[in-house]
């Protein structure tokens, strides 16, 4: 674990080191193979443990947990691409000409398959912004290469450049032209309203994908060929139907 942590720190440092230049702002249509929404391995294991018990012996809370876990599978579909990908130069650092870094973002078109329901007691005592933030934190977007490998696998194999040029999509943050992103309050609320709308609703999800060295943008477009979406929640204030 320590070895991987040190390697990741080295990768982060590479983003800010000098290099040969390239276009620091631009856009492209990115073709991705996007997998359906699936719950995490952790939640799948919880569900399997419950299923091993005869239904007559399951506690009510176990039945509710199983219902919640299974309901998040295939919650929404990412409609076929290609998808709009943009990058723009970060304005609050000056590495000199040819050493620019760029913020990146990706737009995905989603179609809802199920409607998320919020526990009424939780909804009555919790601000909508807080609910939307909690719900957004449950969804993780992992980029894949053409062979289905993730950035972590590149780290484990010692491929620093490969690990660097993976995108890192996050609903929680938005670009603001600076090295430090800001909280994506409006985006999280829009995503929440989409998830609680009627099945069949379509929505453009714009997600920040982190900072890249501008000179690496061609490699970014070459490497990022797929995405898997994982739902991994710790609280059971929500279920879908």
**Residue 54 counted as domain residue:** no
Look-up of token digits 């299974």: 70
**Residue 53 counted as domain residue:** no
> How many domains does one find in the chain?
1
CA–CA–CA angle 105, 186, 30 (5° rounding): 20
**Residue 165 counted as domain residue:** yes
Rounded CA-CA distance 38/35 in Å is: 8
**Residue 49 counted as domain residue:** no
Rounded CA-CA distance 102/43 in Å is: 36
Look-up of token digits 């091993």: 52
pTM for this entry: 0.83
**Residue 100 counted as domain residue:** yes
Contact 138, 164 (CB under 8 A): no
All residue ranges of the chain with pLDDT < 50 are: 2-22
**Residue 180 counted as domain residue:** yes
**Residue 231 counted as domain residue:** yes
Residue 128's domain spans which residues? 2-39+75-240
Rounded CA-CA distance 143/8 in Å is: 17
Rounded CA-CA distance 192/203 in Å is: 11
Q: What pLDDT score was predicted for residue 84? A: 96
Q: What pLDDT score was predicted for residue 96? A: 53
Residue 190 backbone zone (phi > 0: left; psi -120 to 50: alpha; other: beta): alpha
Q: What pLDDT score was predicted for residue 79? A: 94
**Residue 83 counted as domain residue:** yes
Rounded CA-CA distance 88/23 in Å is: 9
């Amino acid at each position: 674990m320590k070895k991987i942590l040190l390697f990741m720190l080295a990768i982060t440092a590479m983003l800010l080191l000098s290099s040969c230049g390239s276009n620091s702002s631009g856009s492209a249509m990115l073709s991705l193979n996007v997998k359906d929404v699936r719950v995490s391995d952790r939640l799948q294991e919880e569900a399997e443990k419950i299923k091993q018990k005869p239904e007559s012996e399951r506690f009510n809370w176990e039945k509710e947990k199983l219902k919640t876990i299974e309901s998040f599978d295939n919650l929404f579909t990412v409609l076929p691409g290609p998808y709009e990908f943009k990058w723009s130069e970060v304005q609050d650092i000056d590495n000199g000409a040819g050493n620019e870094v760029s913020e990146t973002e990706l737009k995905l078109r989603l179609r809802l398959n199920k409607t998320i329901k919020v526990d009424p007691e939780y909804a009555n005592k919790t601000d909508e912004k807080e609910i939307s933030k909690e719900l957004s934190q449950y969804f993780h977007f992992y980029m894949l290469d053409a062979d289905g490998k993730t950035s972590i696998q590149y780290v484990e194999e010692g491929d620093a450049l490969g690990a660097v040029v993976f995108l890192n999509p996050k609903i929680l943050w938005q670009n603001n032209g600076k090295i430090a992103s800001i909280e994506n309050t409006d985006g999280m609320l829009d995503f929440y309203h989409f998830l609680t709308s009627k099945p069949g609703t379509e929505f453009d999800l714009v997600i920040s994908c982190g900072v890249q060295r501008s000179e690496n943008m061609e490699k970014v477009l070459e490497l990022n060929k797929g995405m898997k979406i994982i739902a991994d929640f710790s609280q059971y204030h929500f279920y879908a139907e």
